[in-house]
């Protein structure tokens, strides 16, 4: 297979590179400023033709092959620009499982960034074992009354809408009786409480749902089939995480090496190892992308991508601290070192913990028996 750009892809890449050169500096690539500016960044990318490139034209996309998303991610990383907002899991969930009315209502705003979204899956008693969730959706006239408590909901404080899992049938088997709802976050009874992390950063929230009315037409798919929807959207999310983090970290390290110079041999060797490992993950993510190009759904390799990313992160931060030494203590070092170091534990957990990915790989990829 020829991995070089076609003439059309090369022209797209050039246009993007020029656009990033002129526009990216106005947006922050990390920390709280990234999250607060993410909505504007999303809309700027979309208006310039660099967001939603592979999604259907009917909903505001361009229907280009997914390789254009890869080009966008690569050029964004090279420019040190903020990451492309990762919304694929929501778009895929709604495209595959929502009816046409829901798609027409929500996909355009989701893709062009004028309506912001969050995902309310995790609860204080249901994280890795998500099917233990206890948020309850009780059937009432014309809709559902939702009561429960979500946690670690990224961006809930900025989102107009949320995709929410809630138990519709408490008597059904654990993985059945769960519904996937779209919730207007301004509805009466939705209370959002931001959580400050050890790093000082925000991003997460607790969401309390007290007698929140969700109309019937905001249920996606069947009332008892939300679990299969959640599983397919989480696979898309994991691939995106693996892809973004790989590109981002390898590039940050390269820039770090340029600053610190070649005198620290051991750390530079570690950097070489990280680069090689990162290149291998990129090849794997590309393979996953090719599966998507061929029209196949996301596969269990999403768990390998996520797990490999975790390994890369661990190696990357050891190498980075080795390279920078005391410079790392400077709060404003560029690229930032300490802030992402403190953020690393959260990145390891988001989209599913390493232990859970290993379990998925063992059973779904290697076919090992489960006890
Ligand atoms: C950056 C980030 C963003 C997030 N964004 C969102 C979001 O937008 N929406 C949302 O709903 N959630 C979000 N989350 C929550 C995330 O999905 C959960 O934190 C994650 O699924 C783990 O659940 P938990 O925190 O309850 O940990 P637990 O499930 O309690 O796990 C604790 C520890 O036990 C281990 N463990 C658990 N079960 C097993 C097992 N069977 N075998 C071996 N080890 C096990 C885990 O690996 C982990 O080390 C986010 C989390 C992070 C860090």
Q: What's the token pair of residue 261?
A: 């110079």
Report how far residue 321's alpha carbon sits from residue 339's, in angstroms, rounded to the nearest whole number: 12
Q: CATH code for 247-365? A: 1.20.140.10
Q: Please give the model's pTM, rounded to 2 decimal places.
A: 0.86
Residue 150, H or E segment: strand 143-150
Give the rounded percent of residues in the chain with a pLDDT score beyond 70.
84
Whether 355 is in the pocket of ligand 1, judged by its Cβ within 6 Å, is: yes
3 state DSSP class of 203: coil
Distance 124 CA to ligand 1 centre (A): 10
Beta-carbon contacts of 350 under 8 Å, excluding residues fewer than 6 positions away, are: 154, 241
Q: Select which of 75, 123, 237, 288 is catalytic.
A: 237
Whether residue 203 lies in the annotated active site: no
Most confident of 101-115, 191-205, 333-347: 101-115
| Average of per-residue pLDDT across 267-284 | 78
Tens of pLDDT along 2-47? 678 899 999 999 999 999 999 999 998 877 888 889 999 999 999 9
> Mutate which of 198, 343, 350, 368 to test ligand 1's pocket (most atoms within 8 Å of Cβ)?
350
Please report where in the chains the tokens 């090496």 appear, as a residue: 257
Whether 48 is in the pocket of ligand 1, judged by its Cβ within 6 Å, is: no
Residue nearest to atom 40 of ligand 1 (CA): 356
Closest atom, ligand 1, to C-alpha of 118: 8
- End-to-end Cα separation, the chain, in angstroms: 41
362 exposure class (CB count in 10 Å sphere: 0-12, 13-18, 19+): middle
The DSSP secondary structure of 33-69, one letter per residue, reads HHHHHHHHHHHHHHHTT-SSTTS-GGGT-----THHH
263 exposure class (CB count in 10 Å sphere: 0-12, 13-18, 19+): exposed
Report how far residue 40's alpha carbon sits from residue 302's, in angstroms, rounded to the nearest whole number: 29
Per-domain boundaries in the chain: 7-85, 117-227, 247-365
Distance 349 CA to ligand 1 centre (A): 6
Tens of pLDDT along 280-302? 877 777 777 677 666 666 666 77
Whether 119 is in the pocket of ligand 1, judged by its Cβ within 6 Å, is: yes
| Average of per-residue pLDDT across 67-96 | 86
Residue nearest to atom 3 of ligand 1 (CA): 350
Report how far residue 213's alpha carbon sits from residue 74's, in angstroms, rounded to the nearest whole number: 42
Whether 121 is in the pocket of ligand 1, judged by its Cβ within 6 Å, is: yes
Tens of pLDDT along 201-217? 788 899 999 999 999 99
pLDDT for 33: 85
> Mutate which of 126, 128, 309 to test ligand 1's pocket (most atoms within 8 Å of Cβ)?
128
341 exposure class (CB count in 10 Å sphere: 0-12, 13-18, 19+): middle
> Does the bond joining 211 to the residue before it have cis omega, within 30 degrees of 0?
no
Weakest mean pLDDT among 90-104, 212-226, 242-256, 266-280: 242-256
Whether 311 is in the pocket of ligand 1, judged by its Cβ within 6 Å, is: no
Q: Does the domain made of 117-227 have the CATH classification 3.40.50.300?
A: no
With beta carbons less than 8 A apart as the criterion, state whether 90 and 233 touch.
yes
Closest atom, ligand 1, to C-alpha of 121: 11
């Amino acid at each position: 297979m020829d991995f070089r750009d076609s003439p059309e892809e090369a022209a797209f890449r050039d246009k993007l590179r020029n656009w990033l050169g002129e526009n990216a500096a106005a947006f922050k690539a990390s920390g709280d400023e990234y999250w607060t500016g993410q909505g504007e960044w999303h809309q700027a990318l979309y208006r310039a033709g660099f967001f939603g490139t592979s999604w259907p034209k009917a909903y505001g996309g361009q229907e280009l092959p997914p390789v254009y998303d890869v080009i966008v991610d690569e050029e964004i990383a090279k420019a040190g620009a903020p990451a492309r907002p990762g919304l694929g899991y929501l778009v895929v969930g709604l495209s595959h499982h929502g009816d046409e009315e829901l798609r027409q209502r929500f996909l355009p705003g989701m893709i062009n960034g004028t309506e912001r979204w969050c995902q309310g899956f995790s609860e204080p008693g249901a994280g890795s074992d998500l099917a233990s969730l206890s948020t309850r959706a009780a059937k009432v006239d014309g809709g559902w009354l939702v009561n429960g408590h979500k946690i670690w909901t990224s961006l809930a404080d900025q989102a107009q809408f949320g995709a929410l899992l809630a138990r519709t049938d408490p008597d059904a088997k654990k993985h059945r009786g769960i519904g996937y709802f779209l919730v207007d976050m301004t509805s009466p009874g939705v209370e959002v409480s931001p959580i400050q992390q050890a790093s000082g950063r925000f991003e997460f929230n607790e969401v309390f749902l007290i007698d929140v009315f969700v109309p019937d037409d905001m249920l996606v798919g069947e009332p008892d089939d939300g679990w299969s929807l959640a599983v397919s959207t989480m696979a898309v999310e994991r691939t995106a995480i693996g892809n973004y983090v790989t590109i981002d970290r390898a590039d940050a390290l390269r820039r770090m090496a340029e600053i610190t110079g070649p005198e620290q041999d051991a750390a530079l060797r570690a950097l070489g190892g990280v680069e090689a490992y990162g290149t291998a993950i990129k090849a794997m993510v590309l393979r996953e992308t090719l599966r998507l190009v061929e029209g196949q759904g996301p596969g269990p390799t999403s768990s390998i991508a996520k797990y490999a990313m975790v390994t890369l992160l661990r190696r990357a931060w050891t190498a980075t601290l080795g390279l920078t030494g005391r410079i790392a203590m400077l709060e404003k070092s560029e690229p930032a070192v300490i802030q992402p170091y403190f953020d690393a534990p959260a990145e390891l957990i988001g989209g599913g913990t390493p232990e859970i990915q290993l379990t998925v790989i063992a059973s779904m990829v290697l076919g090992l028996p489960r006890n």
